[in-house]
Chain A
Amino acid sequence: MYLSNKFFTLFIAIFLVGFAISTAQTSEYTIDGMTFGMPEAEVFTEDYDGPPVVGEYITMLPNLAPLDYEGNKHHEIRLDAMVQEIEVADGVRYRAWTFGGTVPGPVIHVKEGDRITFTMKNRSDEMVTITEPGAEASPFLNQVANNNFMDAKPGIMPMPHSMDFHAGTVAKDDKWRTIAPGETIKFDWVANYAGSYIYHCGTPSVLMHTAMGQHGVVVVSPKDGYTDDYEVDREFVVVQSEYYLKKGAGDLYTYDYEAAQTVNPSHVVFNGHQTILHDQPLEANAGERVRIHFSNNGPSGTSSFHVIGAIFDRVWMEGHPFNEMRGMQTVLLGASGSATMDLIVPEEGKYTLIDHEFADAEKGATGTLKAGAKK
């Protein structure tokens, strides 16, 4: 009797403490194992002048950082908004609005269920160099420093910006809100769904902000993988996007508003540059299984993605393991649509990645996969 009384009291005490803690927390809740109800975003001003990209699993296209951890992880990620003058095609340079300094922005890799605390400073009024990574810098910055194929140079063009992660499920008027130059926004989100998701600036005009370069991809790898049938040998990320540029007064090109409104891009490219995937082709060997996480970032066009000489053995639409398709020659993706595609490299030689809408292809939407002999 005495013992059970004490036990009862202890149980109640623990229950009370737990209840108090849980109600004193935010309004988070779960449905189907997914977490919703993130705390409110914070907007503040801080004098941060460190690396503009922070995060261990962030890389430059077409690379994807391997997720070397079990279970879920809480990531601290920073992606600052800033201006960089970049080359997008031979002889074509313009001052781009970017996240992290490249167009498209860095590839963020997380696992389904991971929580991300994201910070972004609007540094559009500061000169930010991305080619001198410090100690804290993300692998992305090291890769850019070693391979600055866009020949990125800092620039200043103070504009309001915001961040919209399609991979995040949150209230847009809170987390995707616009901040003025100099301000910083910080918020949490949980990668509830597997897939490849665009992130882009949500400040109006979104057409302009996205076309000016503020977009990228978050790859959310499914917690149980895509298939148990085989292991993949190579994994790449490819992003298609459009540019609407016209020659400006000086050497630089500028945004062509009319072209953007009429969806008449000047360039349609893979991984931000008209010739990069030819100059630096994807590499594999015959007989290997190659996985491509492909996103059509738009802003406005569609993509009929095909690899000349190959057929996609398996395709998961939007990168979700549930959406498996087999034997696709061409995958049609609307703006912001994505797919994870596995192909078997048949033989040694060259394969062309292409947007089979030839008006796009002729504006640059092509790339090369170079295959060596079967190992």
Chain B
Amino acid sequence: MYHPLKYITLMLAAAVLLFGSPAAHAQQSAASIPEGEFHSVLPEIEGEPITVSAFHLDRTAVTNAEFAEFLKENSRWSRSQIPAIFTRDGYLRHWKSDLEPGPENPDDAPVTRVSWFAANAYCGAAGGRLPTLNEWEYSAQLMEFDDPADMNAFAYELMGWYSAVSTDNKNAVGSTGIENRFGVKDQFGLIMEWVEDFEPPVGTDISLDCGTVGRMQQLGSVYSYAASVRYITRMSFNAKTVTGMVGFRCAYDSPLQQENQKAL
């Protein structure tokens, strides 16, 4: 079927893509993460590390301002229009209106109360995708610690955070001071993040109850203990889940064109 309007829209979309991804999102550049391997608390083969191919990951989580920009051009993902198949109740309930985070929610704070479907759509529109679970976890543990004691101390803090997280979400992205060695910030301490496959297939045999942590804690470190809490929390979600503690960032297979996109 020939739709002239469709063609024009396509051309415009192509133009936008060529000259820079959805403007607001381009304000941050993605970090380049080289190929590597890591030991996961949920390995595919016990004892074997998981290999992750090189990819790019947003340095910071998607912010209220960036998501608002996305909604301007994709209003079907706004609070009043999003279909029920894509979210449960509470989607962006803390925002002032459909398109405005409002004064309570700083522009540079991470956006939360978005479902997996919304996050997936945003990243698709940004020319990328959600990171896979392994990519996210691989990046998360690429931090530099002086010695194991440091890492333990960090992990203790992490456990504290998981049991006392605040959903005020007034903190700006980048503010935790936690950064991996490639410049990816706040994978801890700010929000939990959506990944493409938050219920990993290898996890479907594990019923989320007592003993799961023991089963996951093969690595024997405090860090892996904290990781298991994170895995379990993610595995309890479904794609429509919306909470004040969950936001996201995007991954890309090839470097984004990063132009200066202050003009919106």
- Measured CB to CB, the residues of A under 8 A from B are 45, 47, 94-95, 97, 124-125, 156-160, 162, 164, 172-173, 176-182, 202-208, 212, 246, 248, 252, 254-258
Contact = CB atoms under 8 A, between A and B. Distances in A.
Contacts of A95: 164
Interface string B220-258: 001001001100110011101111111000000000000
A203 B164 contact: no
Contacts of A205: 213, 225, 228-229, 232
B245 A180 contact: no
Contacts of B211: 204
Contacts of B166: 157
Interface stretch (B26-34, B129-137, B155-163): B155-163
Contact of B156 (A164, A206, A257): A257
5 contacts: A45-B88, A158-B244, A158-B245, A182-B88, A205-B229
B208 A178 contact: yes
B167 interface: yes
Contacts of B163: 97, 208, 212, 254-255, 257
B236 A156 contact: no
Nearest to A244: B163
Contact of B164 (A158, A181, A254, A258): A254
A177 B207 CA distance: 7
A125 B159 CA distance: 19
B164 to A, nearest CB: 4
A256 B163 CA distance: 9
A125 B156 contact: no
Contact of B232 (A173, A203, A248): A203
B236 A202 contact: no
A303 B222 CA distance: 28
Interface of chain B, main secondary structure: loop
Contact of B243 (A97, A182, A258): A182
A45 B238 CA distance: 11
A184 to B, nearest CB: 11
Nearest to A210: B210
B165 interface: yes
Interface of B: 88-90, 156, 159-160, 162-167, 207-213, 216, 222, 225, 228-229, 232-233, 236-238, 240-246
A255 B209 contact: no
Contacts of A206: 209-210, 213
B164 A202 contact: no
Contacts of A45: 88-89, 240
Given A158-B246, A257-B159, 20 more contacts: A97-B163, A124-B243, A156-B167, A159-B162, A172-B209, A172-B210, A173-B207, A180-B236, A182-B90, A182-B241, A203-B208, A203-B232, A205-B232, A206-B209, A208-B159, A246-B160, A254-B163, A255-B159, A255-B160, A255-B164
Given A45-B88, A45-B89, A47-B89, A204 B164 contact: no
B20 to A, nearest CB: 35
B248 to A, nearest CB: 15
Nearest to A97: B163
B243 A181 contact: yes
A177 B208 CA distance: 7
Contacts of A212: 163
Contact of A204 (B228, B237, B240, B242): B228
Given A47-B89, A156-B244, A178-B236, A173 B209 contact: yes
A360 B237 CA distance: 38
Nearest to B214: A204
Nearest to A246: B160
Residue among A159, A179, A208 having the largest count of chain B Cβ atoms under 10 Å: A159
A347 B244 CA distance: 56
A164 B207 CA distance: 14
B210 A159 contact: no
Contacts of A160: 208, 232-233, 236-237
B232 A178 contact: yes
Contacts of A246: 160
B207 A204 contact: no
Contact of A125 (B167, B208, B209, B232): B167
B167 A157 contact: yes
Contacts of B244: 125, 156, 158
A212 B166 CA distance: 15
Contacts of B88: 45, 182
Given A125-B243, A181-B241, A205-B213, A157 B165 contact: yes
Nearest to A124: B243
Given A172-B209, A173-B207, A257-B159, A182 B164 contact: no
Nearest to B216: A204
A262 B149 CA distance: 17
Nearest to A182: B88
Nearest to A125: B243
Given A45-B88, A178-B236, A204 B209 contact: yes
Nearest to B161: A254
Nearest to B207: A173
